[in-house]
Amino acid sequence: MNLFRFIPGYETSIYEAGREPIFVALVAFLICFAITRGYTRAARVRGWGSASARGVHLHHVVVGIVLALASGALIIGFEPVDSLFDLFLCAVFGSGAALILDEFALVFRLDDAYWSEEGRASIDAVIIALTVGVLVLLHVVPFDVDTADDSARWTLMVIVAVHVSLVIVVLFKAKLVTGFVGMFVPFVALVGAVRLAKPHSPWARLFYRPGSRRRLRAEARQRKHDERWASRTKRVLDAIGGTPNTPETD
């Protein structure tokens, strides 16, 4: 549809490259997340009521699931191509994904942790989803190899196996953003796999014995990181998602 042809470079970089659907989905994701967080923060301050169905609080994750499933089913069932309906479904899916991930902590913990410290997992999920979406939009692919002959195919299979292994190691080291970026950029996965794991990660629990040199180094690095970045990260997350409740205000 070339909806945003007025944006410089959009026609060649997005539309002609076939990336308009993911672009529309990302824009809808961002807009829906911004509106949702903006409303919930305003409702929290002003004491506005929440939607309910027959007396049961209607979390917006439920709306998100309905939108994502419905739009996904229609895309699969009708396979619309290069049409306004196609882009509309992409926007609906992006909006549904934003509503779901905005309450990711609730789904993960099966507890209404939206304004708690644990609710920050929702912001992490949104940031990771946006990172992956932008990488897909930029069409960042780790491999672009001609696999017409057997030797090239086997070489590619080995490279992919090593790459996937590195990404798994990074995720086990509790470096989620690095792991997801590493899916698309192999060098990032390699660096993340070589570096020390976070002390609370499954990797550290398995391979770093208490009191061992690697465990102490990992803990010292985490303390140094927290001293430098924890307060700054908290301010950024507070600006995005709102300040969590303290135990006294719960």
The pLDDT assigned to 250 comes to: 43
Does residue 236 lie within any of the structural domains? Answer: no
The CA–CA distances, whole Å, from 213 to 76, 129, 202, 220 equal 52, 35, 17, 10
Between the CA of residue 6 and those of 48, 191, 240, 242, what are the distances in Å? 39, 40, 29, 34
Residue with tokens 């932008």: 134
pTM, 2 dp: 0.74
**H or E, element range at 53:** strand 52-53
Inter-residue contact 199 to 208 (CB < 8 Å): yes
SS3 198: coil
Could you give the CA distance from residue 37 to residue 68 in angstroms, rounded to a whole number?
19
Residue 11, C-beta contacts closer than 8 angstroms, at least 6 positions apart: 2, 5
Q: Tens-of-pLDDT digits for all 250 residues of the chain?
A: 778 888 888 888 888 888 888 999 999 999 999 999 999 999 888 888 777 777 778 889 999 999 999 999 888 887 766 678 888 999 999 999 999 999 998 988 888 888 888 888 888 889 888 888 887 887 665 555 555 566 666 777 888 889 889 999 998 998 888 888 888 888 999 999 999 999 989 899 899 998 899 999 999 999 998 888 888 888 888 888 888 876 544 4
Token pair of 28 as six digits: 């809808």
Say how far apart CA 10 and CA 19 lie, in whole Å: 10
Q: Is residue 213 part of a domain?
A: no
Instruction: Return the pLDDT at 249.
Output: 44
Please check whether residue 182 lies inside any domain of the structure: no
Is the residue at 120 inside a domain? yes
**What is the tally of structural domains in the chain?**
1
SS3 62: helix
Range of the domain at 98: 1-139
Position 224 in a domain: no
Q: Is residue 7 part of a domain?
A: yes
> Would you say residue 208 lies in a domain?
no
Q: Is 147 part of any domain?
A: no
